[in-house]
Every structure is written in C-alpha cells, then in structure tokens.
Amino acid sequence: MASKYTDGKLVKAANITQKYTEKDVQDLLSCQDRINGPHYFLDHFFYIQHPVKGKLKYQAYEYQRRLVDSYHQHRFNVNLLPRQTGKCLTKDINIRIMNKITGEIREISIEDFYNMQKNSSRDEQV
C-alpha cells in the first residue's frame, strides 16, 4: 500500500512492474557510472519531504558531496562531524564489540563504548 504525503503524491509500492523509457535507461546507466554515478543520482533523483512545501529536490552542501565521494571510493570511513548536521545517532544505540584476545562478543551502548574508550586512553596517558 502506498503512503500519501502532503503534496498528494503517492510513493510507489514494492514489487510493482514498471516499463522503462529510453530516458530511464540512460538515467540508470548514468547512475552506474563509477566516478559520477553517485552525484548523478543525488542531483536527479534525491528528494526530501518538507512538512509545508511538500516534495523538494535535495541540494547537498559541498561537505555532503565530499562525504558521498569518500563513501563511494573507500570501503571504511571515519568521520569527525559536528552535531546537528543531518545524522542520527543516540547514546542508547547498541553496538557489538569483540575482544580480540578472547573472541568474546558483547553488545553495549554507544555511550558505554565511548566511556570505555575514554577511560582506557586516560589510563594509557598515566
């Protein structure tokens, strides 16, 4: 079942058959381009749903475009990012960690992991 947004448009349901035009095929090929594909997709098909204005084409900031490049070019990324820039992470999200020596796997909150890392680096400095 499709969802209705404030602009009255419906979101296409899953597993619906669709016919592709020549333009659609060209767009798909452009999205598959190894270098410019992620940006082509971002510039042509990425929208946000504004509560008052409805469906709006997303306009990425330069740092967001650099992040897309980094994610696309490198398998692993570590980002030092400021707060309130469109990310979603709370202190009670659980992560799994593995002890490299014993192989024990534990599930702990991000907050506990952060405190554990902070305390261990403080112990190393003493």
Query: Whole-structure pTM over 0.85, yes or no?
Result: no
Helix, strand and coil content of the chain, in percent to the nearest 5, comes to 35, 15, 45
Say if residue 71 is in the same domain as residue 25. Answer: yes
Say if residue 54 is in the same domain as residue 106. Answer: no
User: Crossing angle of helices 37-45/62-73, nearest 10°?
Assistant: 140
Domain boundaries, position 64: 1-82
Say if residue 76 is in the same domain as residue 98. Answer: no
Q: Which residues of the chain have pLDDT under 50?
A: 1-3, 5, 7
Q: Total domain count for the chain?
A: 2
Say if residue 38 is in the same domain as residue 67. Answer: yes
